[in-house]
Structure 1
């Protein structure tokens, strides 16, 4: 079966985030089923030169633990829900059947100014979490940055089109925006996931004591 690919703009249950695209296999599209929960987080980019990730297309690949079917969340940073002096990001919210899931791969598409460059995690991340019926599972915020190279011609640093993600939590901001967008879900329990440290060079965790519930 072909997955449904849609922009989150204008969809009520799946949110209306700017610049975010989601792909969900047909058999996991169950927003009307009683065992549905909600996966939520934010994805964006650093805006600080030369490590800005605004020119990167970032894709997170998820799957249920018992299947190899991919759920993808992509962001090209054309527009955003949140902007600060250093970052831009957008919320994603996806209704999914309850069960165990994992974030297994990250990819980036960028350019070094001459050619298109693809970056991908060298091995599966297998960062696990669960979706509970009637609950919101919050994964945190993923911010893309470009790796930096030095120009031999101009002797200056520039974004080389290869990316990495920094993971942290913007709990109060994202939770407030989620419930503001979906007042019909305001009574749902909000569950913050503590993702385990990954050994991939493409995913960095902000040092902190841990997320708030």
Structure 2
């Protein structure tokens, strides 16, 4: 497994800020004899108190759909089939009065993929929580040759708690994603950050319906 940072490998990971960490199996790094496309989207957080998600560490877990049936694989084999994108909100490609975020552009072999899980790490000041969804999100999308497959934005928000001592609300340490599409903004960002890909078509890939556009997590009890 190779852990890639943009300032070390601009040829493999295009257009990402230095704060976005990507883990990609070795089998995806050798694309010389394969048709490739580009996975594009944004990971970010709200900045408005008290629901700000800036302190949350968020991760998308992605795999080829064909690997889903390999449920008898060892943990090592499963790890080497999964792509992860992690944002700690230390850097941003866009910022407004409500949110910040980073664009990711990842070259991948042509095929069908899915976001099958998301994880969120947060803290309430006393405890640190690791939260995750069940492994059945099945948010599928296609990577097509020489195209930018845009899967939208994933904006982390904190659930809000109320102090038992003071009449104040504050981030609870628990989080969730608000999913949507901002093609006008992200298409411009894609071509600005990847001037070598100006001949690539930018295509919106609509994910499966997400109830109320929210992706909730639960506490990992393991």
Partner of 2:49: 49
Map 1:1-213 → 2, pairs under 5 A = 3-9=1-7, 11-15=10-14, 16-67=16-67, 68=78, 69-198=81-210, 203=215
Residue 198 of structure 1, CA deviation: 3.0
> TM-score, normalized by length of structure 2?
0.85
TM-score, length basis structure 1 = 0.88
What are structure 1's unaligned runs of at least 5 residues? 205-213
As a proportion of its length, which structure holds more helix?
A: 2
Which 4+ runs in 1 deviate beyond 2 A? 30-34, 198-202
Is residue 125–residue 200 contact of structure 1 (8 Å, CA) maintained in 2? no
SS at match of 1:175: helix
| SS of residue in 2 equivalent to 1:163 | strand
Contact 1:105 1:120 in 2 (8 A): yes
* Deviation (angstroms), 1:73: 0.5
3-state SS, counterpart of residue 196 of structure 1: coil
Gaps of 5+ in 2: 68-77, 217-222
Kindly report the root-mean-square deviation, in angstroms, between the aligned alpha carbons of the 2 structures. Answer: 1.8
Q: How many residues align?
A: 202
Q: Which has the higher contact order (CA 8 A, sep 6+)?
A: 2
